[in-house]
Amino acid sequence: MSGEKVAQPAYFHLHLVSDATGETLINVGRAACAQYSNVLPIEHVYPLVRSMTQLERVLIEIEGNPGIVLYTLVDKEIRERLKQRCRELGVPFLSVLAPVVQLFQAYLGGEPQPRIGGQHALDATYFKRIDALNFTVMHDDGHLTEDLEQADVVLIGVSRTSKTPTSIYLANRGVKTANIPLVPNVPLPANIEKLKKPLVVGLVASPDRIVEIRQNRLLGLNAANPSASYVDREAVSEELAYSRRLCARHGWPQIDVTRRSIEETAAAIIGHLSERRRRSIVET
């Protein structure tokens, strides 16, 4: 209806206080905010808060911009000071890990041993992630295809199906990922159809979505005289049809990324990878 006002998003201050990197708080806070379509947070992130002096600076910010306070603080004295001041200011506060740790304690028994930034320890898992990132960066966009057998996952797909960002996200989960572009009239690496260890996954999308992304890409690059077929819907449809036929011929799973976020695409790939590994264990 003309003249009808569209509701504007409401804003609120979200204070995230951590004695480590603050990544856990950021993820939890954003996941909670995503449940409210018309509410947006103004994030105040305070990492590495490990002294009373640092905390006092944070409390000044909270007092000046009252809102929700989420925290992960190991030091009891710092934690109690934050809680006390939040009560005085009348602002809501919550330790995001406390309920989870209490649940673990009730089930496992014993006393937890809090460690600042414990999830970021330089252990085997951490170095596995770094190794995966190095591998993935070196094998981006069809590079170094001769050693694809070392990958955990190989992504294939036409241009602008989010192969690179998905690869990087998977690498951050410790999954060595290579990606190969499907380019018209350019043959695939000869060894890709003979791979044994890696899971090969095809990424596809709707022709309209691919054309839209490619057009925006060209505008961003100020590309002059681009190939007409690059943004032609019929040509793009044929590219995608070839991709689907290729995957069907080899039994490679396909994931439609048209309406998926990078995180959702990566989760689906990890699901395929886990199922493949489970079947392998059962068969042996």
Annotated binding residue at 237? no
Please tell me whether 258 is known to bind a ligand. no
Residues in CB range of 22: below 8 A, 6 or more apart: 16, 45, 46, 47, 72
User: How many percent of the chain have pLDDT more than 70?
Assistant: 91
Both 170 and 247 in one domain: the answer is yes
Average pLDDT over the chain, rounded to whole?
90
Residues 37 and 166 in one domain: no
> Is 163 assigned a ligand-binding role in the annotation?
yes
Q: Is residue 2 included in any domain, yes or no?
A: no
Same structural domain, 88 and 128: no
| Tens digits of residue pLDDT in 198-247 | 999 999 999 999 999 999 888 877 765 667 789 999 999 999 999 999 99
Whole-number CA gyration radius for the chain? 24
* CATH code of residue 277: 3.40.50
Identify whether residues 177 and 243 lie together within a single domain: yes
Number of domains in the chain: 2
Indicate if 245 and 220 belong to the same structural domain: yes
Range of the domain at 200: 124-283
Q: Find the mean pLDDT for residues 89-103.
A: 93
Q: Is the pTM for the entire model greater than 0.85? A: no
pLDDT at 219: 84
Same-domain check for residues 130 and 254 = yes
Cα–Cα separations (whole angstroms), residue 226 to 159, 214, 218, 223, 232: 14, 10, 8, 6, 11
User: Is residue 1 situated within a structural domain?
Assistant: no
Closest CA to 247 of 169, 154, 136: 154
Q: Is 3 a domain residue?
A: no
pLDDT recorded at residue 48: 93
Same domain (yes/no): 57, 160: no
Highest mean pLDDT among 4-8, 29-33, 274-278: 29-33
Residue 5 lies in a domain: no
The mean pLDDT of 25-45, rounded to a whole number, is 92
Q: Annotated binding residue at 196?
A: no
The answer on whether 162 is annotated among ligand-binding residues is: yes
User: Same domain, yes or no, for 37 and 139?
Assistant: no
> Does 150 lie in the same domain as 105?
no
CATH at 108: 3.40.50.2300
Q: Is residue 4 part of a domain?
A: no
pLDDT in tens, 55-81: 999 999 999 999 999 999 999 999 999
Instruction: State residue 6's pLDDT score.
Output: 47
pLDDT of 280 reads 79
Same domain, 239 and 276: yes
Residue 18 included in any domain: yes
Domain boundary residue, one of 119, 148, 175: 119
Shared-domain flag, residues 231 and 172: yes
Does 58 reside within a domain? yes
**Considering 94, 119, 144, which residue would you say is the last residue of a domain?**
119
Known binding residue 161? Answer is yes
Among candidate residues 119, 135, 168, the one where a domain is terminated: 119
Whether residue 251 is annotated as binding a ligand: the answer is: no
Return the number of other C-beta atoms located less than 10 Å from residue 76's C-beta: 9
Q: Above 80 in pLDDT, residue 127? A: yes
Question: Which segment of 168-172, 198-202, 213-217, 251-255 scores lowest on mean pLDDT?
Answer: 213-217
Residue 149 lies in a domain: yes
Same domain, 81 and 143: no
117 is in an annotated binding site: no
> Does pLDDT of 152 surpass 80?
yes
